[in-house]
């Protein structure tokens, strides 16, 4: 069985869809194909159930030739389910000409089931998209499965010692917590917990797989990067999320949000230390 996702949007939007698509594939024993921007392929490569990514940039007004190519791709495999996150007449016309029997979307004449996003944190809102398939979603339970080689590569680069490892992952944009506070924080934390090791993740990590491995090898993550925050959630790593509202993340004791409604530059080092448990 094959499932198709038509998935526009940023890397963050793609990451938010991972638990839903993984849940469908697991419960239906299906393989997944995703039509998305080529730059987002790295997100779907994190799922073992991903069979193929079909390159198309839905956000750049695809030409007729792009739609024709996509139609050719979706008519060949034996798809049984499509989750369509794209709006517009073109995508509905394409899906109407496909052979896919179950087509879930927010709206559109080609949809066999129209849904509205559910309540809850960002990934859990897609729970309503699984209802037409007779499935439930527990996005909070979703965990990534990463290659042992990727994890070992990260661990080999860590500072020596047996103490817990704190991963710092700034977002690096103009609204981020000031760079000088990121720089001074390790010394402040280490003065409170002897043996603590600190690693700061570069803003421009080459691949999402490498970022996910770095997160998975940490004991605690402090991050203002939305991608890193979701990866921490999906790896079950304790997280202090700077600049993100608590409603965007699952309610777990080991996840704390700080500065969701406050400019990050107004957060003091003591605010962050308190959130980390110091």
pLDDT tens for residues 109-168? 999 999 999 999 999 999 999 999 999 999 999 999 999 999 999 999 999 998 999 999
Residues 49, 132, single domain; the answer is: yes
Residues 131, 40, single domain; the answer is: yes
Residues 91, 31, single domain; the answer is: yes
C-alpha to C-alpha distance for 116 and 95, rounded to whole angstroms: 19
Residues 196, 108, single domain; the answer is: no
Residues 192, 134, single domain; the answer is: no
Work out how many domains the chain is built from and give that number: 2
Residues 165, 131, single domain; the answer is: no
Task: Provide the domain limits for residue 33.
Answer: 2-141
Mean pLDDT to the nearest integer, 38-48: 97
Among the residues of 166-221, which ranges form H helices?
Answer: 179-190, 208-216
pTM of the model: 0.95
Tens digits of residue pLDDT in 194-252: 889 999 999 888 899 999 999 999 999 999 999 999 999 999 999 999 999 999 999 99
| CATH number for the domain harbouring residue 162 | 3.40.50.2000
Interior/surface letters 141-165, b for 16+ CB within 10 angstroms, e for the rest: ebebebeeebeeebeeeeeeeeeeb
C-alpha to C-alpha distance for 53 and 209, rounded to whole angstroms: 16
Question: Of the candidates 105, 120, 141, which is a domain's last residue?
Answer: 141
């Amino acid at each position: 069985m094959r499932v198709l996702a038509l998935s526009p949007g940023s890397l963050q939007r793609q990451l938010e869809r991972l638990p839903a698509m993984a849940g469908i594939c697991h419960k239906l024993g299906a393989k997944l194909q995703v039509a998305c921007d080529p730059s987002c392929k790295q997100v779907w490569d994190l799922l073992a159930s991903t069979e193929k990514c079909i390159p198309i940039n839905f956000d750049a007004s695809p030409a007729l030739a792009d739609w024709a190519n996509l139609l050719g791709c979706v008519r060949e495999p034996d798809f049984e389910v499509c989750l369509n996150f794209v709006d517009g007449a073109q995508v509905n016309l394409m899906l109407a000409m496909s052979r896919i029997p179950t087509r879930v979307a927010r709206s559109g004449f080609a949809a066999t089931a129209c849904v509205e996003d559910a309540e809850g944190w960002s990934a859990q809102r897609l729970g309503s998209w699984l209802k037409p398939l007779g499935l439930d979603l527990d996005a909070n339970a979703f965990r990534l499965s990463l290659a042992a080689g990727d994890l070992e590569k990260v661990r080999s680069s860590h500072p020596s010692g047996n103490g817990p490892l704190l991963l710092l992952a700034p977002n690096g944009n103009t609204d981020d917590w000031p760079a000088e506070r990121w720089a001074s924080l390790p010394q402040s934390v280490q003065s409170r917990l002897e043996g603590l090791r600190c690693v700061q993740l570069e803003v421009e990590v080459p691949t999402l797989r490498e970022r996910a491995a770095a997160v998975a090898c940490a004991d605690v993550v402090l991050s203002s990067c939305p991608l890193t925050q979701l990866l921490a959630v999906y790896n079950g790593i304790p997280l202090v999320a700077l600049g993100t509202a608590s409603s965007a993340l699952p309610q777990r004791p080991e996840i704390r949000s700080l500065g969701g409604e406050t400019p990050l530059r107004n957060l003091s080092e003591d605010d962050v230390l308190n959130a980390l448990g110091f």
